[in-house]
Chains A and B, each alone.
Chain A
Amino acid sequence: MKWLGLAAAAMAALALAVALGPTHVPLGALPTSDIVRTLRLPRAVLAFGVGGSLALAGAGLQALVRNPLADPYLLGLSGGAGLGAVLGIALHLASPWALPLAAFGGGLAAMALVYRLALLGGGALDPRVLILAGVAVGAFAAAVTTAVVSLSEPAELRNALLWLWGGLSGASWDTVLVFCAYAPLPAAVLLAAARPLDLLALGEEPARHLGVEVEPWKRRVYFAASLLTAAAVAVSGVIGFVGLVVPHAMRALWGHRHRPLLPAAFLAGGTLLVLADTVARVAVAPRELPVGIVTALVGVPVFALLLRRWTAG
């Protein structure tokens, strides 16, 4: 029943995203419209993939760092990707793929740095150190980003700022294709980690006693969640709160077992971002809001509500 509701919500969101837009397309003309075929549909599909990936990565990372308030960006990824993108803008990289690749590279560099820092204490990946290293790397990247932005020209600055708040206006069937070719592998790793994550919630040693190879699983989850987030950031900029709020809300509905939780988070995250992107396109048409602003405006109050539930319970 819950699954049916979720599937229906996803379908409705996608239909809405295709039907609504700054240009009015009559309902009967939708299937044949070029606007729908080349703009709205790939954008909706990409929004779904990105939102789902962020929520899935968020749910996995929350279990990995043993903190239900963790976010996929907590580990410095968004800072690194932002820096990469801003550098790409400042250097006037021209090719349409330059910016996503620069952001992706920045995200991967941050991921590698955080991972290396988290291993300084020895061979084991310590989630607490992971968070601290993520915060440090993120702050450093933010400082360099601001330095680059402050030295750039007004037009570049506007582009950079808009990019940092996320947007799906670059969506095309090409981006959809690249994203869909790339995302399934890390997503599958996270889904396979569902049971180990259930056990890791007991603590590392209890998990070991129950048969989990703890270190390999922690690494797999960290890399899969990071790679998924980096891809999402590369095609759509930094979209906040989806990876934080959606897994949290799904825990309230589906409980804490990760086998149902992870796919539910994917579906709900996709639905939420498709809706948010539709609002971003339509609300101030013909201009467009960065979708990260919409998710933050929706996400912060929802998060506050969930926090109240959490602390009251």
Chain B
Amino acid sequence: MDGGLILEVRDVAYRYPGAAADALAGASLAVRAGEVHAVLGPNGSGKTTLLRVALGLVRPRAGTAAILGRPAARWPRRALARVVGVVPQREDNLFPQRVRDTVLLGRYARLSLWGAERPDDYAAVQRALERCDVAALADRWLWTLSGGEYQRVRVARALAQEPRLLVLDEPTASVDLRHEMELFELVRGLADRDGLAVVVVTHHVNLAARFADCVLLLAGGRPAGAGTPAEVLVRDTVERVFAWPVAVVPFDGRPQVIPLRQRKETP
């Protein structure tokens, strides 16, 4: 087996209970250490379902999803949390919390049931805070943070898990341009410098094209393209999947998708 292979999803299909059709079929993903994979597709194309299958939250009805060679659904959550850090799309803030405390939650899977946090744990939290450039915010309340700062704090919490695979579900929804770029630069750096495997689900086709090594484009639960950004993001495919006319232009060696204005109908 390939030593660097961390996540391998092969031809998975999944159907929600009671649904008439598969929400996902024939999707594959093989992520190695140091690689950034982007999962793209319109709303309802199965991106989040793919993540749920890959993370063992649901069992595929066909195909396999394995993390470090072990079927994802068979990992105990505690053991999995030491290998995979996830930044979910949404979470609740039922109670007000400070940045350092929320990042400390990332250590849960490494603590004993009764034991207190050890110096190791605080050191890992500090490293994660610094790595994500949020150490200066450590004593702030979460609700005082901007959208971009909040997302970096959540990445820091995932890093405090000391994972080998980082999964981000639409991390830049409602984040401004600078923070979007900062977040993707951070993610790219985590793959390049720290050797993490990264899967990012995003609506930002162009950011995915600039930062990802591989792109999986989903449409209606089925792969419409998989490979390098240049292989996948070609005009025909993008127009078909997103049902909108586009131009694809190269920039910095990567394809960039420019949606076109609708032509006026002349009577």
**Nearest chain B CB to A223 CB, angstrom units:** 17
Tell me if B2 is interfacial: C-beta within 8 Å of chain A: no
CB contacts under 8 Å to B, within A66-95, are 66, 68
Contacts A199-B108, A211-B77; A206 near B113 (Cβ below 8 A)? no
Contacts A203-B92, A256-B95; A212 near B114 (Cβ below 8 A)? no
Which residue of the partner chain, among B88, B90, B94, B114, contacts A192 with CB atoms under 8 Å? B114
List the A residue with the shortest CB-CB distance to B167: A209
Q: Is A210 in contact with B92, judged by CB distance below 8 angstroms?
A: no
Q: Is A209 in contact with B55, judged by CB distance below 8 angstroms?
A: yes
Q: Which residues of B contact A214 (CB under 8 A)?
A: 77
Tell me if A198 is interfacial: C-beta within 8 Å of chain B: yes
Tell me if A205 is interfacial: C-beta within 8 Å of chain B: yes
List the A residue with the shortest CB-CB distance to B157: A210
Q: Is A213 in contact with B86, judged by CB distance below 8 angstroms?
A: no
Q: Is B91 in contact with A210, judged by CB distance below 8 angstroms?
A: no
Q: Which residues of A contact B90 (CB under 8 A)?
A: 203
Q: Is B108 in contact with A211, judged by CB distance below 8 angstroms?
A: yes
Q: Which residues of B contact A205 (CB under 8 A)?
A: 57, 88, 91
**Nearest chain B CB to A193 CB, angstrom units:** 9
| Best-surrounded residue of B78, B85, B95, B109 (most CB of chain A within 10 A) | B95
Q: Which residues of B contact A206 (CB under 8 A)?
A: 86, 88, 91-92
Q: Which residues of A contact B95 (CB under 8 A)?
A: 68, 201, 251, 256
Q: Is B161 in contact with A210, judged by CB distance below 8 angstroms?
A: yes
Q: A195 CA to B106 CA in the complex, in Å?
A: 11
Contacts A210-B105, A213-B76; A202 near B91 (Cβ below 8 A)? yes
Contacts A201-B95, A202-B91, A206-B91; A213 near B113 (Cβ below 8 A)? no
CB contacts under 8 Å to A, within B61-91, are 76-78, 80-82, 84-86, 88, 90-91
| Best-surrounded residue of A199, A202, A208 (most CB of chain B within 10 A) | A202
Question: B residues touching A (Cβ–Cβ < 8 Å)?
Answer: 55, 57, 76-78, 80-82, 84-86, 88, 90-97, 101, 105-106, 108-109, 111, 113-114, 157, 161
Q: List 11 A-B contacts (CB under 8 A).
A: A195-B113, A196-B108, A202-B93, A202-B105, A203-B92, A206-B86, A209-B86, A210-B161, A211-B77, A211-B161, A213-B78
